Each structure stands twice: as C-alpha cells, then as structure tokens.
Homo-oligomer: A and B are copies of this chain.
Amino acid sequence: MGGVSAAADRGERVPKQDRSRATRQRLLEAAVACLAERGWAGSTVLVVAERAGVSRGAAQHHFPTREDLFTAAVEYVAEERSTALRALFPEGAAAGDRRAVVTALVDLYTGPLFRAALHLWVAASDEEQLRPRVTELEARVGRESHRIAVDLLGADESRPGVRESVQGLLDMARGLGLANLLTDDTARRERVVGQWAALLEGALDEAPG
C-alpha cells in the first residue's frame, strides 16, 4: 500500500513497486470476477491466484487470509466504479441530467460487482468470521455511494425529505440489482427508473417545507 517514494535508487525500486501494485490489482479484479461467478463457497485464495496468473505465495503475501482478499477486492472495485461514475459527470448534474445520473447510479448495482458484493453480504450473514469485516465494508461503500448520489444529483440535504429521498433511491437501486440476478430485467428496470427519477426530481426541486 505504501506510496511511491522519490528515492535515489528510483530506477531500481519503482518498477518493483509497480510490479507489486500490478499483481495486487490483478488479484483484486480476479477475486471480484470469481466471487461473482462462483459465489463465496467456490472462492478461495488459490482459485483467485490461478485465475490471476499469480503464485499462491505471492497472493498470500498480499492477502494473508481469504477474508482479506475478498473484502479488499469488493472495496477496490467499488472505488474504481465510483471514480468512473464521477468522471462521467465531471460537473455534477444540471437538473436536466438527473435522469441520466439516476440511470448511472442504478447501473452500479446490476453488474458483476453487485453480484460479487451480494455473495459476500449473504455469506457474511452466516459466517461469524466474515460478518464484522463485511459490515464495516458495507458502511464505507454505502456512505460513498450516498455522497456520490448527493453530489451528482445536486441534492440539498438541508431540505426536509431530501436525504431520505436519495437513500430510498439507492435502496431501490439495490432492489433492482437483486431483481436482475436470475433474469435480464433491463426493460422493466428502465420503466421503473424513468418513473421514479421523475418522482425524485419533484422531491428534490420542491419549495422548502
């Protein structure tokens, strides 16, 4: 994790750190893909190491336990996706773009990341070893999603009901992700998102109560 130091022997050290960082990143991405496809029961450090083309020893150097690897993986990919989402709307949303923002927020919950996270959440509900780690992770990821939604929607949380409207939107997005787990729910989802984006627009723009 340590930052790149501007050491004198930079020519030697930086490439090594780069390699280490690249290995770590490959492991994290392989871990999310593995979790999404095979669930918690089928996801071990060894399976992920093989998928990433990394030795078991190297994988365990980066992530001593299975819990370390998979919680770090979900957090890493969630951060990547948050960054990408902010980059899509660099100046936040004008009121006219809100529908696009809502669609992009909901899309966060329909891909392999959501599927991976869901497997981890559900496994954590049964496994005492995993539960505190995932509970913390959920809180961090949830706070960040809320912050992004507020920023991109230009929501003024000092106004009554606005905070709860944004929270409800994210809860709906999670529910839509669940509805997309076994079947392709795209067509229905678009209609629901269209309607609730309009309702949300009203809630965000209403005169202060």
Q: Interface of A with B (CB < 8 Å)?
A: 37-39, 41-42, 115, 118-119, 121-126, 131, 134-135, 138, 142, 161, 164-165, 167-168, 170-179, 181-183, 188, 191-196, 198-200, 202-203
Contact = CB atoms under 8 A, between A and B. Distances in A.
A177 B174 CA distance: 10
Contact of A167 (B38, B135, B168, B192): B192
Nearest to A164: B195
Centre residue among A171, A194, A200 by max chain B CB count within 10 A: A171
B135 A182 contact: yes
Contacts of A175: 170-178
Contacts of A125: 39, 115, 181-182
Nearest to A109: B175
Nearest to A203: B199
Q: How many copies does the complex hold?
A: 2
Contacts of A194: 164
A39 B192 contact: no
Contacts of A193: 168
Contacts of A161: 195, 198
Contact of A138 (B42, B165, B182): B182
16 contacts: A39-B123, A121-B181, A121-B182, A122-B122, A161-B195, A164-B194, A165-B196, A167-B188, A168-B192, A171-B172, A172-B175, A174-B175, A174-B179, A199-B199, A199-B200, A202-B202
Contacts of A167: 188, 191-192
Given A41-B41, A138-B183, A199-B202, 10 more contacts: A118-B178, A122-B181, A125-B181, A125-B182, A135-B183, A161-B198, A164-B194, A168-B195, A168-B196, A173-B175
B171 A179 contact: yes
Contacts of A39: 122-123, 125-126
A163 B175 CA distance: 17
Q: Which of A37, A172, A199 has the most chain B CB atoms inside 10 A of its CB?
A: A172
Contacts of A138: 182-183
